Chain A
Amino acid sequence: MSATTKTLEELTNRKYEAGFITDIEQDTVPPGLDEDIIRFISRKKAEPEWMLEWRLKAYRNWLQMPVPKWANVHYPPIDFQAISYYSAPKRKEDMPQSLDEIDPKLKETYDRLGIPLHEQEMLAGVAVDAVFDSVSVATSYKAKLKEEGIVFCSMSEAIREHPDLVRKYLGSVVPYTDNYYAGLNSAVFTDGSFVFIPKGVRCPMELSTYFRINAANTGQFERTLIIAEEGSHVSYLEGCTAPVRDENQLHAAVVELIALDDAQIKYSTVQNWYPGDEEGRGGVYNFVTKRGLCAGNNSKISWTQVETGSAITWKYPSCVLRGDNSVGEFYSVAVTRGRQQADTGTKMIHMGKNTRSTIVSKGISAGHGQQSYRGLVRITPKAENARNYSQCDSMLMSATCGAHTFPYIDVQNPTAQLEHEATTSKIGEEQILYCNQRGIATEDAVSLIVNGFCKEVFRTLPMEFAVEAQKLMEITLEGSVG
């Protein structure tokens, strides 16, 4: 092993930087799952009867579903009875009216993560709906959004305040029968975000939510629903990180997006869940179902994700292009290091005429990280003149990591045009030497090279998020090549 290799190895083995547990009073149910727990959650959230019924139907269906085994990831079977399905921070009053009122410990947690809410509000003009454990604790800029007729609130609040919208759209893109984890989520989801952009409105700010897993043994089941009516535009940012813990934490979120005629939704994620220690112990299991429906003509849904965390990631943000001329995009950077495993990619389902989709996937593997890209492009019989461009690039940073590509193509209409490009490269010791020879230290060289590799994806992120993503990559990959 050369000297450079060794340095790179050391760089990748860095400990997780956001690891600490906030000591906050929890209101937690004992571990286990049955209909009573679901009733408890529903009652706790003062939900209407139809919501409880839906949850119970989802639960009964889930009981019949087999655990999916097809993903290229390996982990011991999850004991769903060992998980606690509800935990909420205690609040003295009903809801905090401003960020000053949120629990100071919570604020401190965010501050230590480098995402102070107040600064974000002032500097970036971002409306924040922070999800701490399972209940929303801070919602801001509500008044301003309200003027535009935009609804941006927690899912619990939406169920109470906007039951018609929730009832109409919840499960319309990801039904509870869809897959095992989406089924579980439908039964026990505790909170999440709800966004409704009315006809013709361009959301005046980026909407963002920070997720954070905190309570030991508490599964996280977030549910997000974004509806963009005709001609509306919205950009939504999701970012998360979690403290160091011992047991594996299950995170099974569902995100549903609906774009009507001429509407555009951009959904950006920076995901930094705790990946586990060097042996992969204690990391987050991230089994997420994200799907967008381009329901209307000329609509557009764009997913961008930067995935650096989790012990296991199982995630395929997808687009169903039902409207004619609708556009789906998927831009992804995924990093696996240590013992991380990721099976991620996208599905583009072309149904309407002249539908277009773009897939750009950048995978970076270091240490013993294992990564699979799994992508499906389906052109259904009625999708005349559909086009897809897919590009999957993998960068290997050690001799012990792996990258795998599973592209599935299902073309049922002869007018379709598909393009696929794939590359695998090893981060070159020659590239690092070249940088060194110009005075650039190895750590900086690695981040320079990796950020260059990810550029096509980063440039689709909103500005301040791109900077954060770049910083995250630096922290993550300090110690990742070999």
Chain B
Amino acid sequence: MALLEIRNLHARIQGVEILKGIDLAIERGETHAIMGPNGSGKSTLAKVLAGDPSYEVTGGEVYFQDRNLLELAPEDRAREGVFLGFQYPVEIPGVSNTYFLKAALNAIRKYRGEKELDAMEFLQLIKERAKSVKLDEALLRRPVNDGFSGGEKKRNEIFQLAMLEPYLAILDETDSGLDIDALRTVAEGVNSLRSEERGFLVITHYQRLLSYIIPDKVHVLLHGRIVKSGGKELAEELEGSGYALFDEAAA
């Protein structure tokens, strides 16, 4: 069975249907990209998968490693290995990045029946991973995302990804707001985490990211439906033609 299997997923927020029947399967080791115009439902899909309670799932099924994902609480989805890099990471004033990640990592380890890390082990790990994604160590001591620049927030998401080592990483526009060097580092970070057992779902507006993180499949999301799927060349095609073509096809 696939790592993630979405079947005919419908979801709405405040009575407005946003996702109108999504089908998508990601195998272990694969990287998929989702592209689509503003407001097409990309973030909605990401947040529904993460279990954001403000969305109501009105139909369809989602299986993650054979588990019915929609039945799990958001924290259990995370503990099972679903990670969402948020398009707009929130700030948590007064809570240091280090403290936050220790709470997160140990909650996940506990759920999996693994030994919680002690302070020394954790510190070692966090330093090593910060280095691997070139995160300034000063940011570790600062409150979570509080006063971080846009790029620092995104880099912090990738750093958390590296720390938590999920089986499925959904990255919602992690590339937007990054300078060219940061984009490269983030892509390198993602690429170094790509493995046989791990899948990625990368949401982006730009072909540029996909020239660093080469996807196995690209999907076009429009008005809450996947209107086209293809290989990496689909992204290049979109860069040239835009979404108008698909819009007509969808209508």
| Nearest B-chain residue to A450, judged by Cβ | B94
Given A433-B74, A439-B107, A439-B108; A452-B52 close (CB under 8 Å): no
Given A429-B53, A436-B78, A444-B107; A449-B160 close (CB under 8 Å): no
A438 and B54: CB pair below 8 A?
no
Is A431 an interface residue when CB atoms closer than 8 A count as contact? yes
Task: Specify which of B51, B94, B164 is in contact with A455 (CB 8 Å cutoff).
Answer: B94
We find that the number of chain B residues with CB closer than 8 angstroms to chain A is 33
Question: CA of A196 to CA of B164 in the docked complex: distance in angstroms?
Answer: 54
A437 and B78: CB pair below 8 A?
yes
Is B117 an interface residue when CB atoms closer than 8 A count as contact? no
Q: What B residues does A4 contact at CB under 8 A?
A: 53
Is B9 an interface residue when CB atoms closer than 8 A count as contact? no
A448 and B95: CB pair below 8 A?
yes
Majority-rule SS of B interface residues = helix
| Nearest A-chain residue to B89, judged by Cβ | A434
Q: How far is the CB of B92 from chain A (nearest CB, A)?
A: 6
Is B104 an interface residue when CB atoms closer than 8 A count as contact? yes
Is B100 an interface residue when CB atoms closer than 8 A count as contact? yes
Question: CA of A441 to CA of B86 in the docked complex: distance in angstroms?
Answer: 18
Is A64 an interface residue when CB atoms closer than 8 A count as contact? no
Is A442 an interface residue when CB atoms closer than 8 A count as contact? yes
B54 and A2: CB pair below 8 A?
yes
Is A405 an interface residue when CB atoms closer than 8 A count as contact? no
User: Interface digits, A453-479 against B, CB 8 Å rule (1 contact, 0 not)?
Assistant: 111100000000000000000000000
Count class of interface residues, chain A? 20 to 34
B95 and A428: CB pair below 8 A?
no
User: Interface digits, B98-129 against A, CB 8 Å rule (1 contact, 0 not)?
Assistant: 01110111011001000000000000000000
B51 and A436: CB pair below 8 A?
yes
A440 and B53: CB pair below 8 A?
no
Is A430 an interface residue when CB atoms closer than 8 A count as contact? yes
Given A442-B75, A452-B143; A433-B95 close (CB under 8 Å): no
A–B Cβ pairs within 8 angstroms, 15 of them:
A431-B90, A433-B52, A433-B53, A435-B92, A435-B104, A436-B51, A437-B51, A437-B74, A438-B164, A439-B105, A440-B75, A440-B107, A441-B107, A448-B100, A448-B103
Residues of A participating in the B interface, judged by any CB pair closer than 8 Å? 2-4, 428-431, 433-442, 444, 448-449, 451-456
